[in-house]
Chains A and B, each alone.
Chain A
Amino acid sequence: MSAEGTLRLIWFVTWFNVRMLLASEFFILLTFISPLIFATLAFFLFRSGGGTAGQTLLYVALGAGMMGVWSTTLFGCGGAIAWQRWEGTLELLVNAPTRYDFILVGQTFGAVVFGFYGIVATLAWGVVLFGMPLQATYPLILPLSLLAAIVSLGSLGMLIATTFVLYRHANALGNLLEYPIWLIAGLLVPVATLPFWVQPISWLLAPTWGMEAIRGAAIGAEPPILAIAMCFALAVVYYVAARVTLVFVLAKARRDATLSLQ
């Protein structure tokens, strides 16, 4: 398939998935409403602890928004596979003429992009309800930060998706990854305050660096160059891991005939 054809396919699949997600009340809740509730919760917590209004609001809004992005990534990528398995379409897709990893890229990026709508909603929440000032310390770097975050989360989403393809009960266990990642990635509680043995795990996660990149450009004291670099570096690592896993997973699936099982 030509490069243009590939891009067009990925674009199509991405938007197809965004539409499917928009049609799901569950994802509307997850991506838009849930971050708002957590943002409100976090805001009141920080305020009672004496944080300054402006900085706190933006910090909280971005952190909570990112929490929503992670949930959407987790459920959208991992859950999408489980849903396909349930619907019986997984087998068809994996065996389709188009390379499955292209479909996968479209799916995962669809979920991640959709998740970022959630950040927009959370920011709007802050502005409308609390009069939060929208500012960025490094406005020119911000788009780059966003791109870096999207790319690395999308790649992580691919890895999640490929792992979920084979493991039948991954969806149930995947649900468990919401709270821990929120904590470990330092979205609201700084990584530095976590136990020392947790921190290396944090540094391996896309959400951690994605958050750092965005936060750094918005309210940081210095430009988040390291964070952006780590985002792209991790993206490559995840993507390679996802491709390797996919090859292995597809071979095993064909051998064990588990793709169609519930």
Chain B
Amino acid sequence: MRSPVAGAPAIEAIDLVRTYNTHIGVIRRRPISVEAVRGISFEVHPGELFGLLGPNGAGKTTTIKMLITLLLPTSGTARVMGFDVVRDTTAVRQRIGYVFGGDRGLYDRVSGMDNLRYFAELYGVEPSEQKRRIAALLELVGLTGREHEKVEGYSRGMRQRLHIARGLLHDPEVIFMDEPSIGLDPVGARELRQTVRSLVDAGKTVLLTTHYMFEADALCDRIAVINAGRIVALGTGADLKDAIADRTIVEIETFGVTDEAVERLRGDDEVNAVNMEEREQSQILLVQSDRGAHITQRLLSLLGDTRVGKVVAREPTLEDAYVHLIATTGDDEAHAARAASVQLG
């Protein structure tokens, strides 16, 4: 068994590709091929909190599953702590923790403690140390005192915390978290972020996938933006914002703007993207262009008779950067349009 090279990245992905073959139709089945991941490469340094950010269906979960040995890449290589995910699966599995969000993944009819004890066995934690380890983890995630209740009675937040405890039982060096804050209320989500930050502070490496842009911005040391199976941007939050720093956003408040008017804006040569947010009585148009505030007059004339309220020109946020990236790198119109209405979080 090879030992990892000193100074080597904790996680390496090199040209990962993943294609699914499936069928459509019932009686006459036609095979179709879906390319979920189309050549992803990145490195995560030890002790880093790395974010994979992208809309639903971008390939985040597929990428993570390849890294944790649950899926074989169609082509490409990946290594965790220096061990190849295809050849050295046992070595990889021993060193990683896997935390995923959502409702499933725990045994509902037994207690939280039973769930942890079971996985402690599966991870090979020495029996004599299980009690101590579990108690410490329960303390960390704030479930002390609730561990003997059946999981089916846990709230979503409690389940998530149990997932995290489960992923840490064997003291892994690298932790993979797949959309951990999904479905959590703001308080729960914030606690989760604190827990994740404390893990990294303790020296763990964490790879996190999310479609909440602000979460990636707040938490991660570096972010890779994924769209349609490819990485479209990689860097710190500041780097990503810098990329469109010269793209001032013009925010126009309108009342009853028509689709044709918005299309006229989109169709203009100088406009890169138009995002619309519905408020109760009004719509806010966020217009990105290279010309920044100089374009305001032109936009107003394009809007024609539309009643206009406030007009503001401002610096782009990470969300604007994200929207721009997704909109300009999508596969097709529909995908771009969907991605353009990304969650505010």
Question: What chain A residues lie within 8 Å of B26 (beta carbons)?
Answer: 19, 22-23
Q: Which single residue of chain A is at the shortest CB-CB distance from B25?
A: A23
Q: How far is the CB of A12 from chain B (nearest CB, A)?
A: 16
Complex interface: chain A residues within 8 A of B27 (CB): 22
Residue of A nearest to B27 (CB): A22
Minimum C-beta distance from B336 to chain A (A): 30
Q: How far is the CA of A50 from the CA of B26 in the complex (A)?
A: 44
Distance (whole angstroms) from the CB of A199 to the closest CB of chain B: 43
Rounded to whole angstroms, the CA-CA distance of A142 and B27 in the bound complex is 30
CB distance from A89 to the nearest CB of B (A): 17
- Chain B interface size band reads under 10
Q: Which residue of B lies closest to A23 (CB)?
A: B26
Q: How far is the CA of A29 from the CA of B123 in the complex (A)?
A: 39
Q: How distant is B143 from chain A, measured CB to nearest CB, in Å?
A: 24
Instruction: Report the interface size class on chain A.
Output: under 10
Chain A: CB-nearest residue to B152: A262
Q: How far is the CA of A184 from the CA of B27 in the complex (A)?
A: 36
- Convert A13-34 into 0s and 1s, putting 1 for each residue whose CB lies closer than 8 angstroms to a CB of B: 0000001001100000000000
- Closest partner residue, chain B, to A24 (CB atom): B26
B312-344 residues at the A interface, CB under 8 angstroms: none
Q: Mark B23-38, 1 if CB is under 8 A from A, else 0.
A: 0001100000000000
Q: What 1/0 mask marks residues of chain B from 6 to 31 whose CB sits below 8 Å from any chain A CB?
A: 00000000000000000000110000
Contacts of A19 in B (CB 8 A): 26
Q: Could you tell me which residues of chain A, from 5 to 57, have a CB within 8 Å of some CB in chain B? A: 19, 22-23
Bound together, the chains give a CA A85 to CA B26 distance in angstroms of 23
Min CB distance A187 to B, Å, is: 30
How many Å lie between the Cα of A19 and that of B26 in the bound state? 8
Min distance, Cβ B30 to any Cβ of chain A, angstroms: 14
Assembled-state Cα–Cα distance A23/B27 (Å) = 8
Q: How far is the CA of A19 from the CA of B27 in the complex (A)?
A: 9
B85 to chain A, nearest CB (A): 32
Within the complex, what minimum Cβ distance (angstroms) separates A21 from chain B? 10
Kindly state the separation between the CA atoms of A206 and B27 in the bound complex, as whole angstroms: 32
CB distance from A90 to the nearest CB of B (A): 18
A23: chain B residues at CB < 8 Å are: 26
Distance, CA A28 to CA B321, complexed state (A): 52
CB distance from B166 to the nearest CB of A (A): 22
- Nearest residue (CB) in B for A20 is B26
Interface residues of A in 129-183 (CB under 8 A from B): none
Q: How far is the CB of A7 from chain B (nearest CB, A)?
A: 24
- Distance in angstroms between the alpha carbons of A22 and B27 in the assembled complex: 8
A95 to chain B, nearest CB (A): 22
Closest-by-CB residue of A relative to B26 is A23
A201 to nearest B CB, angstroms? Answer: 36
With both chains docked as a complex, state the minimum distance between the C-beta of B181 and any C-beta of chain A, in angstroms. Answer: 23
Residue of B whose beta carbon sits closest to that of A19: B26
| Separation of A97 and B68 alpha carbons in the complex (Å) | 46
Query: How far apart sit A23 and B25, CA to CA, in the bound complex (Å)?
Result: 9
Chain A min CB distance to B22 (Å): 14
Residue interface mask B262-293, A partner, CB < 8 A = 1:
00000000000000000000000000000000
List residues 94-113 of chain B with CB under 8 A from any CB of chain A.
none
In the bound complex, what is the Cα–Cα distance between A23 and B23 (angstroms)?
12
Which chain B residues border A22 with CB–CB below 8 Å? 26-27
- Please report the C-alpha to C-alpha distance between residue A23 and residue B26 in the assembled complex, in whole angstroms: 6
Minimal beta-carbon separation of A15 from chain B (angstroms): 12
CA A97 to CA B27, docked complex, whole Å: 31
- Min CB distance A6 to B, Å, is 26
CA distance A133 to B184 in the complex (A): 67
Task: Give B334 Cβ to nearest chain A Cβ, in Å.
Answer: 25
- Residue of A at shortest CB range from B108? A262
CA distance A22 to B26 in the complex (A): 8
A22 to chain B: closest residue by CB: B26
Separation in Å of the B104 CB from the closest CB of chain A?
12
Q: Which of A208-255 contact B (CB under 8 A)?
A: none
**B102 vs chain A, min Cβ distance (A):** 14
| Selected A-B contacts with CB under 8 Å, 4 pairs | A19-B26, A22-B26, A22-B27, A23-B26
Binding site for B on A (CB under 8 A): 19, 22-23
Which chain B residues have a beta carbon within 8 Å of chain A's beta carbons?
A: 26-27
**4 nearest A-B pairs in the assembled complex, by CB-CB distance:** A23-B26, A19-B26, A22-B26, A22-B27
